[in-house]
């Protein structure tokens, strides 16, 4: 993928995107090498002073090692659009409120979140099984409502412990069919309430750390499901 195709360098466009993140209090995930991550919101974006500020909890154990790393990347979603930008010169500032300050970005990458085709399963639906991020003793098995190469939407029953947006589930087992189970990590980006009869919420999740063979297996599942759906529609 050529990142230049997705680069937004116009100062006005960058400012507009950052303002939307700030105004909507959109969750922003800061990630670094070694799997370190921290979910926050953008508090301020000052193009004149060239400064960004994010909310922070100074007691968060992963925060300082993340900020001390060489590379920090911010990822957020605005509706159906994935935004990504480098967080340069990040540091923790303690005062009346603890914040993270960083250099204002020169450019932002804007990706279509559904850049790969998303399908609804046919027949037996895939499931994803994982330990609850906040309750490791609780194992969840959720039904997959639709799936793409980059993400899944799952049904979270209303009788289960809630999963907060921004949380990350590690070592999830995504079972596509009786013969294919993949191990992935996933970040829960949004939660939407479904109709009352469904008795649950829809979780919009991004899949992380797909290995080459697993990515090919998932792509094959998506292709075959779409072919079957087209054949049934004829």
- pLDDT per residue over 175-228, tens digit each? 998 888 999 999 988 787 665 566 788 888 888 888 878 888 888 888 888 778
Helix (H) or strand (E) holding 220: helix 212-233
CA angle 4, 52, 99 (to 5 degrees): 135
Confidence of residue 45 (pLDDT cuts 50, 70, 90): very high
Angstrom distance (rounded) from CA 70 to CA 89: 9
Q: What is the DSSP string of 124-164?
A: SPPEEEEE-SS-TT-EEEEEEEEE-SSEEEEEEETTSPP--
Helix (H) or strand (E) holding 65: helix 63-68
Find the radius of gyration of the CA atoms of the chain.
Answer: 19
Nearest to 219 by CA among 148, 126, 121: 148
Residue-range domains of the chain with CATH: 3-112 (2.30.110.10), 127-233 (2.40.10.220)
Q: What is the DSSP string of 75-95?
A: EEEETTEEEEEE--S-EEE-S
- pLDDT per residue over 151-175, tens digit each? 898 998 888 877 888 889 999 999 9
The answer, as to whether pTM is greater than 0.85, is: no
| Mean pLDDT for the chain overall | 85
Helix (H, G, I), strand (E, B) or coil at 178: coil
Angstrom distance (rounded) from CA 166 to CA 186: 10
- pLDDT per residue over 9-40, tens digit each? 888 889 999 999 999 888 899 998 877 888 89
Q: What is the pLDDT of residue 2?
A: 56
Distances (CA, A) of 32 to 13, 87, 231: 26, 10, 44
Say how far residue 198 (Cα) sits from the centre of its chain: 24
């Amino acid at each position: 993928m050529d990142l230049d195709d997705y680069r937004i360098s116009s100062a006005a466009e960058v400012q507009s995107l950052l303002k939307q993140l700030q105004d909507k209090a959109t969750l922003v995930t800061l990630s670094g090498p070694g799997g370190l991550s921290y979910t926050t919101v953008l508090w301020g974006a000052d193009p004149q002073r060239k400064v960004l500020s994010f909310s922070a909890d100074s007691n968060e154990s992963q925060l300082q090692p993340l900020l001390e790393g060489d590379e920090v990347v911010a990822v957020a979603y605005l509706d159906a659009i994935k935004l990504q930008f480098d967080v340069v010169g990040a540091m923790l500032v303690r005062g009346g409120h603890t914040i993270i300050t960083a250099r204002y970005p020169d450019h932002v990458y804007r990706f279509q979140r559904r850049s790969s085709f998303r399908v609804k399963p046919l027949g037996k639906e895939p499931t994803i099984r994982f330990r609850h991020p906040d309750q490791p003793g609780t194992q969840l098995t959720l039904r997959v409502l639709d799936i793409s190469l980059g993400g899944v939407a799952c049904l979270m029953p209303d009788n289960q412990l809630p999963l907060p947006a921004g949380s990350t589930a590690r070592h999830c087992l995504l079972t596509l069919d009786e013969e294919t189970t993949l191990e992935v990590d996933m970040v829960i980006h949004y939660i939407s309430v479904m109709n009352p009869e469904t008795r649950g919420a829809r979780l919009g999740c991004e899949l992380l750390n797909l290995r080459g063979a697993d990515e090919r297996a998932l792509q094959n599942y998506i292709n075959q499901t779409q072919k079957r759906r087209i054949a049934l529609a004829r």
